[in-house]
Chains A and B, each alone.
Chain A
Amino acid sequence: MNKKRFFKYKNLSLLILLFLTACIENAPMDSLSPAGPYARQIDDLFWLTFWIAVGVFFIVQGALIFSVFYFRDMPGKPEPKQIHGNNILELTWTIIPILILAAIAVPTVRTIFDLAREPEGALKIEVIGHQWWFEYKYPDYGITTANVLVIPADTPVRLEMWSNDVLHNYWVPKLNGKRYLVPGQKTYLNLQADSPDEFWAQCGEYCGLSHSKMRGRVLSLNQKDFENWVNNQKLNANKDLAEGSLAEEGQQVYLNAGCTQCHVINGVWDVQGDRIAPNLTHFANRNVFAGAALKNNKENLTKWLANPAEIKPGTFMPNLELTEKEIEALIAYLGTLK
């Protein structure tokens, strides 16, 4: 009997050990490693609730496991007392949870309103959801970009968001909770990063075939780098490339193969078609593309341009049946879009 019990406890402690070491190291989407004041506020609230829940967990599971061992039927055990209830006990375990929940409710409600408030001196950025990528617009600077959101570090940012098609859900776990992007309606979310860093973002709400690949990056830069970035973003792309170069050939592919139906490159092709695709003016500056599902390198670009739907099923970018040579030229051209 004792041996059996020992094994039970050993299993239990192993399980607890497993749980304590469970946290995943270096998870880029870790909501438990906040890197800004908003996420930290949420994190504090979560741990408060978590430890209360852990307390209740051990009380209830303890009572359960104790009962199973202590009250289990054994030979010679007398019939139990027939207790039908106990009003005082029942009131106690009604009132105590109410008090605990009230204690959680107060900071909860306060944090809800805190997080909803527009921070003073915030930089305003528009986030527009598309199947399956995020578009960013900086109304103060006249910048349009995609996939990588660049923000100044240690400065609050106010996102004004909507969707161009279905529901999306914007999530940068280390900077704040989620907020939906709704067609025909604006929603708001505040972000702030403590220091220059790169963060992962992803669409939370199921938004169709390639929902899994609707990802993003948030790049926080120190003030000076951010200003440089802004100034660079305001520039148009250079249309006059060296005659006969591979990049120049690529520009011809871009202009003639059909890319301009959806993509804009400021200074080269400024007419936005019906279907909005990422603005490519500073494409080479972004370390990811295709809804941040792929790293921006030659190998990935080759795969993508050969057949986009292979990588993002349902994508609105057609297979333009480009030849290997055209792809190579196009990649060279895209590389000049700094």
Chain B
Amino acid sequence: MTKIIEPDKQTNIFRRPSSEYGIWSWLTTVDHKKIGIMYGYAAFFFLLIGGLEALVLRIQLAQPDNNFLSAAEYNAMFTMHGTTMVFLAIMPISAAFFNYLLPLQIGARDVAFPRLNALSFWIWVFGGLFLYSTFVFGTAGAPEGGYLAEEVGWLGNAPNGGWFGYQPNAGFKYSPGTAMDYWAIGLQILGISSLVSAFNFIVTILNMRTQGMRLMRMPVFTWMTFAVAFLLAFSLPIIAIALFYVTFDRQFGTTFFLTEGGGDPVLWQHLFWLFGHPEVYILILPAFGIVSEILPTFSRKPLFGYPAIVFAGFGIAFIGFGVWAHHMFASAISPVAQAGFGISTMIIAVPTGVKIFNWLGTIWGGKLNLKTPMLFALGFIGMFVIGGLSGVTHSVVPADTQQTDTYYIVAHFHYVLFGGAMFGIFAGLYYWFPKVWGKMYNETLGQIHFWTMLIGFNLTFGPMHWLGLQGQVRRTWVYAEETNLGFWNLIVSIGAFIIALSILIFMANWMYSKRKGEKAPFDPWDARTIEWTIPSPTPVWNFSKAPHVKALDDFWHAKYDEDEEGRAVRRDTADDLLLQLEEEGLNPEEEIELPNPSYYPFILSSGLPFLGYAVIYKSIPLALIGVVLILAGSFGWATEPLEEGFRSRKEEE
């Protein structure tokens, strides 16, 4: 259907890529939808790996004094589980949603900088592969002077200092070998990716909104993307600098975090959590956005208190920079700091509470259509509230000194990041499935997935609350039988396998429905926002005609009016409108300019892992390869003509 007008001659390092199908079309694409889909699949792949790591951990902990894993393997597994889930699963799945949906929700053809978008994706991929190459090339072992009874197997040759990498334990003296370098440099690379996309999204939201899409008419998901982009932009530089300190300490003999050299390990804690706490909101705000889209649609009511929800989101993002030391209440901080950060942590509960009550206000008095996306959104509220309430108990500093570093914390943040973020993400995956694939998912399997996941989730993370309060310390490879923690640990491990089963059901549904699902109409949910005005699956050019937005929930208002009582009444013109949209969506009147595919984002990003290896192995040739790739990518990028060979729509035959 679309055709590329070939450029006449080679004007750059490579000819302009022209594949529309096959691997080259994916490697060179700058289409936000394709990038979003790639983010989604790659992140889901890492989610499965992170999940497998969790299962391995749970087998080890299923009974006291177990020896399924060695200490080295266990420590590597929990470090990689945390790192993977945060940086390689939840963040990029959110990025998949941002990429696919953001331009659609604001009525744009693409993001502001399509090639940068591809760049951030490929940097992320190479960062993830670099980090995971530790299993092949990395080495880990006992601290200097320590002894091991057995060799560290391949499973143990991974970063083992925790996803938080506390210094000096994660420094060269106590974590020799290269594994922690893979961690530090891997995160550094992943951070570049997030920074690039953060600026891209900020510019996109500020500049690419369609006619009439004022800020206060933007869907809440777009708002939350906006908030997350700012969080990324302000928090990632902190971790970038801290990771440079770590790499310098490990590689070049500096002593930023070594007491012997005048450094301070508590500095690392501050730097890490100054990034790490906003990071928590980076993980959860996209889910807030998704749920805020789904609840009104399936309640057939507008979002209750839209401005409050938007401002609460920004309130959370802002205050999120002022609570970091609540991760360190037991650390070397003064009682004044404890009191201050305790209170700021309590304050952040207020906007969070506003959101929850407004969501309840949204479904209250509605007409709830309990389809799978809605079930997950409702499950999100229920589970997130539990995580929020246990969060308030952490703000009570003395109580937190009992809870910190125990399974109570593990329970808390899994209720927030799994019960919260992941449930929200699953809600979104089902909700937008028809828009992305043009097929309906299987509702029965979806409901089974929801219930098995809800049960498995609570069985896994519920008992961790009392396990923690009754003495199970985190990150422990074994626990003594006399602690009497064995029974509930077994229950927890069983729960983990039920979650695994629910994921398998989800995958089966996805693969089956994508091929054999019923054909999806373009507005299957009677939805409210403009991404539902275009065909399913979304055509390459998104909107045939730039939409003109007149209100918040513009599409809904085009379909529905209110009677004197305030009840929704379908307009007479609604059916005609839908027919017209269906007609128009596939047949744009004018020629549409779309961004050109490009090799250079891929080439540029492929240089970064080489630089990483060069630092670890102090190798000039590797550094040269990296530099050449990056320079070639940048040069080709900069000299790539923008005008030539634009993609236009032409009827074939």
Contacts and interface: CB of A to CB of B under 8 A. Distances in A.
A187 B346 CA distance: 25
Interface stretch (A149-157, A165-173, A236-244): A165-173
Contacts of B392: 49, 53, 101, 104
Report which residue of B175, B378, B396 has the largest number of chain A beta carbons within 10 angstroms of its beta carbon: B396
Contact of A83 (B346, B365, B463): B365
A30 B470 CA distance: 4
Contacts, number: 333
B249 interface: no
17 contacts: A27-B483, A46-B393, A49-B392, A53-B393, A82-B566, A83-B302, A85-B305, A93-B357, A177-B398, A177-B402, A187-B332, A205-B405, A206-B169, A206-B474, A208-B175, A209-B148, A309-B146
A56 B389 contact: yes
A72 B364 CA distance: 10
A316 interface: yes
Contacts of B477: 211-212
Given A24-B466, A169-B330, A212-B71, A46 B399 contact: yes
Contacts of A30: 469-471
Interface in B452-510: 462-463, 466-467, 469-480, 482-485, 487-488
A178 interface: yes
A308 B146 CA distance: 11
What are the 6 tightest A-B residue pairs by CB atom distance, in nearest-first order? A29-B471, A177-B401, A184-B259, A204-B405, A212-B476, A85-B305
A310 B146 contact: no
Contacts of A205: 166, 405
A204 B406 contact: yes
A2 interface: no
Contacts of B397: 108, 111-112
Interface stretch (A57-65, A119-127, A219-227, A324-332): A57-65
Given A24-B466, A208-B175, 17 more contacts: A25-B484, A29-B472, A30-B469, A63-B360, A71-B363, A82-B567, A86-B305, A94-B354, A101-B347, A105-B346, A177-B400, A184-B259, A209-B142, A309-B147, A313-B72, A313-B142, A316-B145
A185 interface: yes
Interface string B365-408: 11111100000001001100110011011011111111111100
Contact of A80 (B300, B405, B487): B300
Contacts of A307: 149
B265 interface: yes
Contacts of B347: 101
B349 interface: yes
A313 B71 contact: yes
A317 B385 contact: no
A257 B392 CA distance: 55
A202 interface: yes
Contacts of B463: 22
Contacts of B358: 85, 90
Nearest to B304: A85
Interface in B171-201: 174-175
Contacts of A81: 301, 365, 565-567
A267 interface: no
Nearest to A166: B169
B299 interface: yes
Contacts of B368: 67-68, 71-73
Given A73-B370, A313-B70, A90 B404 contact: no
A79 B302 contact: no
Contacts of B17: none
A185 B332 contact: yes
B330 A97 contact: no
Given A64-B378, A71-B299, A182-B332, A112 B339 contact: yes
A64 B360 contact: yes
A166 B180 CA distance: 16
A112 B365 CA distance: 44
Interface string B281-312: 00000000000000000011110111110000
Contacts of A23: 466, 470
Report which residue of B330, B338, B361, B365 has the largest number of chain A beta carbons within 10 angstroms of its beta carbon: B330
Report which residue of A42, A166, A202 has the largest number of chain B beta carbons within 10 angstroms of its beta carbon: A166
B339 A113 contact: yes
